[in-house]
Amino acid sequence: MSHDQGMKPRLLLVEDDPTSRHFLQATLETLPAQVDIAESLASALKIESGHDLWLLDANLPDGSGIDVLRALRLRSPSVPALAHTADDSPALHTQLLAAGFAEVLVKPLGAAQLLGAVRRALGDMRGARLRVSEPAASPSLPLWDERTALAALNGNVEHVATLRKLFLDELMRQQEKIVLSLERGDEATARHELHQLKASSGFVGALRLNAAAARLEKALADAEAIEVFTTTVGDTFSSG
């Protein structure tokens, strides 16, 4: 990414409210950073890809922040994303985190809070943690790791429990969609779902599943990787 070379990082800011957009853009540019602006899902998708970070409004005129994230990740699956919203509902925040956002920022927010979240995302702490467990979905890896989950969710035990329940509620549906996509040769959908699963499993500390999803994402046609993935999904679900 550009910031690794000492250049300004390139950010995509999607915000439909003019006042909020002006504040967020002005603050982000002090990072310093190059900030591309979009007011909707449609306009965001018209901007050339190649960003280091996405900052997405959770509610837009033509869709949700989750809709934007899913659309953007079809073409750039590894870019981190932050969600921002005026809604402080824990249920919404849980949905946003489960969808793959690294953090959820509540508006109005101060400049220091915004810049701190951006620096954390650009530092790719989450990606580094996930890469540690990518080599293999070994049975020696624990199915669950509380320290990983607590670190991802700022030590909030209640949030971990809530997010883990949501994760398990969606897990079998995700597995079915991934397997069916592979059977149909729809690699784009399979990669998209696996990438989301990597993010969500990392948040809840499902280490063995995280590794299995990462392995399969890299080798979609590998029969052994598929078998390991499906077995690990079953073990994770039954142990939850």
Measured from the Cβ of residue 40, the count of other Cβ atoms closer than 10 Å reads 17
pLDDT score, position 139: 63
pLDDT per position as a tens digit, 3-53: 544 578 999 999 987 778 888 898 899 889 999 999 999 999 999 889 999
pTM over cut 0.75 = no
CA distance 81 to 114: 13
Which domains, ranges and CATH numbers included, belong to the chain? 2-123 (3.40.50.2300), 132-239 (1.20.120.160)
**What are the backbone angles phi and psi of residue 37, rounded to the nearest 5°?**
-115, 140
Q: Which of 92, 112, 85, 94 is nearest to 14 (CA)?
A: 85
